[in-house]
Amino acid sequence: MEKNFATPERLGRYLLLQRVAVGGMGEIFYATTEDENGSTYPVALKRLHPENKDQPSFIQMFFNEGRIAGLLNHPHIVKSYEFAQEDGMLYMTMEWIDGPDLQHLMRLGQEQGQPISIRHAAEITWQALQALHYAHTLTLNGQPMHLTHRDISPHNLMIHRDGILKITDFGIARMVDHLSLTATGVIKGKIPYMAPEQTRTSKVTPQADLFAMGVIFWEMLCQRRLFFDANEMRCIDLVRYAQIPWPHQIRPEIPIALSELVVWSLQRDPEQRIPNAGLFGQYLEAIMQEIPSEEPLRDYVQRVCAPEEGINSTQEIDDWQPPTLHQKTQVSTNPTRKL
């Protein structure tokens, strides 16, 4: 996936120094450009795959992604700078996040025997919820946009070395109906973080994002995967039907109130799930007051990520496996009380 250039490739006013990620529609590069004062600064440049540049459906998807990205302005969402075309090649530029995605951070922490702590897991989740609440309630000219990310996963949560989380890839919010689907009808590779209703239909609400955040929060707290099977159909069955252990029953040091909040976000019936990201964040913030403070998140990220990880850490690591896989456990998923 990584691609270094002996001679940097130029696209418009940008020098492409390294390819750091590649997906079905496009590829992302670490690039540099100059500002009006002649100072060089880094950007993330995403361009449409050359083989897709003449495909109307992919062009429309890319335009949709650029348009949505340009509308979002929040401290916990990756900033979009420019959407342009050069020699028939569509591309967009975004702020460069000097730090890993959450999946990479979790893997590095596990490998070094320094997994993400309860406090840091709560801080990461709280930051993501602020961004989701903003997006879910965004209006344009007074009209609700009804944005749902639809692809919340550890790949799309970037953690800057200063401890600030940024959500990326909001473009899928309006593109899901155009994406290439697998035979099972879902987006390949994202099944473990899909809400049950999303495995049946593309017409989902912000509740799907809350379920995905619940899965990610559960995995950070419990230090293992919640739904995992290499077989897509079996993985879908886990998402729909597997019993979900309460986090405090796996790690007794997890506050029961925090465990209850996670389980509330993981209710399979969207009507029984926590109502919105704003309320999720409010409850989490209140519970965090009872969790002892520790080293700042930025210190943890900088300690776990060696300096040379700066560029490589932005890659998607599709083959990451945690040390211990979740085994089915007969534990009720109905909270004993509402928070």
Longest dimension (CA), the chain: 62
Nearest CA to 314 out of 169, 190, 149 is that of 169
DSSP class of residue 48 equals E
User: Dihedrals φ, ψ of 259, to 5°?
Assistant: -60, -45
238 phi and psi angles, rounded to 5 deg: -65, -45
Task: Using DSSP, state whether 257 is helix, strand or coil.
Answer: helix
Query: What phi-psi label fits residue 223: left (phi over 0), alpha (psi between -120 and 50 degrees) or beta?
Result: left
Which residues are the active-site residues?
151
- Residues 292, 312: Cα–Cα separation, whole Å: 33
Between helices 207-222 and 102-111, what is the axis angle to 10°? 10
Strand partners, 41: 33
Q: Measuring CA to CA, which residue among 131, 13, 19 is closest to residue 82?
A: 13
Structure tokens at 105: 């951070």
Decide: 311 and 18 in contact? Cβ < 8 Å. yes
End-to-end Cα, the chain, rounded Å:
44
Checking phi first, is residue 12 left (phi over 0); if not, alpha (psi -120 to 50) or beta?
A: left
H or E element: which one contains 81? strand 80-86
The tokens of 91 are what?
A: 């591309």
